[in-house]
């Protein structure tokens, strides 16, 4: 009987501590202030502030930069530009190649390009080496005029050290007066993501 009374007293004391006259100030839920732009124009799940590819095709698999994942491909993309003898001036007929390359580099910002200049074996070897570099630099300048970052462009001059044609006629020399370029990091077409709403071809 004494044990029951003692237990009841402890219970009352504990209840008194819990249900005392203590008061707590009401703290309102803070209103968040959004200072960053969370806009996602291409609806790929990556906000514009971090999106390096703001026009990702819908239903593409993307990486953390908002760029579509690329399927591996054996295809290559490049430029092949010919020059007049002893000249580094880009002929109008080749201007469109450079513009198209700039558009591709903008579409795939993870890629970079190497521009290689060459010369024919007419003239002195050291002069031809410098000429080949000037040709590569001319293409670089034109490419960067389309807002391509210089950090994505590498140039190299080979002079007459890597001839395409070893003939001594004018046609052979013309083939060796060139600039070629290849894209580094290009892997093919953007991979499409499969969802339960994707229609399979019949």
Q: What is the pLDDT of residue 188?
A: 57
Residues 118 and 154 in one domain: yes
Report how many domains make up the chain. Answer: 2
62 pLDDT above the threshold of 90: no
CA separation for the pair 83, 116 (Å, rounded): 13
Residues 113 and 152 in one domain: yes
Q: What is the pLDDT of residue 175?
A: 93
User: Rounded to whole angstroms, what are the CA distances from 115 to 45, 79, 81, 84?
Assistant: 35, 9, 11, 18
Residues 57 and 137 in one domain: no
Residues 102 and 133 in one domain: yes
Indicate the pTM of the whole model.
Answer: 0.58
Residue 166 vs residue 188, higher pLDDT = 166
Residues 112 and 63 in one domain: no
Q: What is the pLDDT of residue 5?
A: 47
**Residue 57 and residue 166 in contact, taking contact as beta carbons nearer than 8 Å:** no
Beta bridge partners of 14: none
Residues 148 and 124 in one domain: yes
Pairing of strands 153-157, 178-184: unpaired
Pairing of strands 112-117, 153-157: parallel
Percent of the chain whose pLDDT exceeds 70: 66
Residues 42 and 132 in one domain: no
Q: What is the pLDDT of residue 36?
A: 62
Cβ-count burial of 195 within 10 angstroms (0-12 exposed, 13-18 middle, 19+ buried)? exposed
| Mean pLDDT of all residues in 174-198 | 67
Domain that holds residue 44: 34-69
Residue 172 lies in a domain: yes
Residues 82 and 180 in one domain: yes
Residues 94 and 42 in one domain: no
Give the pLDDT confidence of 111-150 residue by residue, as tens digits: 888 899 999 999 999 999 999 999 999 999 999 999 999 9
> For residues 74, 142, 132 and 168, what is the CA-based torsion angle, rounded to 10 degrees?
80
**Residue 101 and residue 113 in contact, taking contact as beta carbons nearer than 8 Å:** yes
Residue 82 lies in a domain: yes
Q: What is the pLDDT of residue 75?
A: 43
Average model confidence (pLDDT) across the chain: 77
Pairing of strands 78-82, 178-184: antiparallel
Residue 14 lies in a domain: no
Residue 10 lies in a domain: no
Give the pLDDT confidence of 148-162 residue by residue, as tens digits: 999 999 999 999 998
| Mean pLDDT of all residues in 90-106 | 91
Residues 105 and 140 in one domain: yes
6 pLDDT above the threshold of 60: no
Beta bridge partners of 97: none
Residues 82 and 168 in one domain: yes
């Amino acid at each position: 009987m004494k044990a029951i009374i003692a237990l009841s007293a402890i219970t009352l004391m504990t209840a008194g501590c819990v249900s005392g006259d203590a008061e707590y100030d009401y703290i309102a839920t803070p209103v968040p202030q959004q200072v960053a732009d969370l806009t996602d124009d291409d609806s790929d799940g990556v906000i514009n502030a971090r999106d390096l590819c703001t026009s990702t095709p819908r239903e593409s698999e993307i990486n953390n930069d908002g760029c579509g994942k690329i399927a591996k491909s054996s295809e290559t993309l490049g430029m092949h530009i010919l020059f007049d003898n002893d000249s580094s001036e880009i002929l109008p007929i080749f201007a469109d190649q450079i513009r198209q390359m700039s558009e591709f580099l903008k579409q795939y910002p993870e890629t970079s390009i190497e521009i290689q200049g060459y010369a024919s074996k007419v003239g002195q070897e050291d002069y031809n080496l410098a000429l080949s570099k000037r040709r590569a630099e001319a293409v670089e300048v034109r490419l960067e005029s389309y807002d391509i970052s210089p950090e994505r462009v590498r140039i190299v001059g080979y002079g007459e050290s890597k001839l395409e044609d070893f003939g001594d006629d004018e046609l052979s020399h013309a083939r060796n007066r060139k600039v070629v370029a290849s894209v580094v990091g290009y892997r093919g077409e953007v991979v499409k993501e499969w969802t339960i709403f994707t229609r399979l071809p019949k």
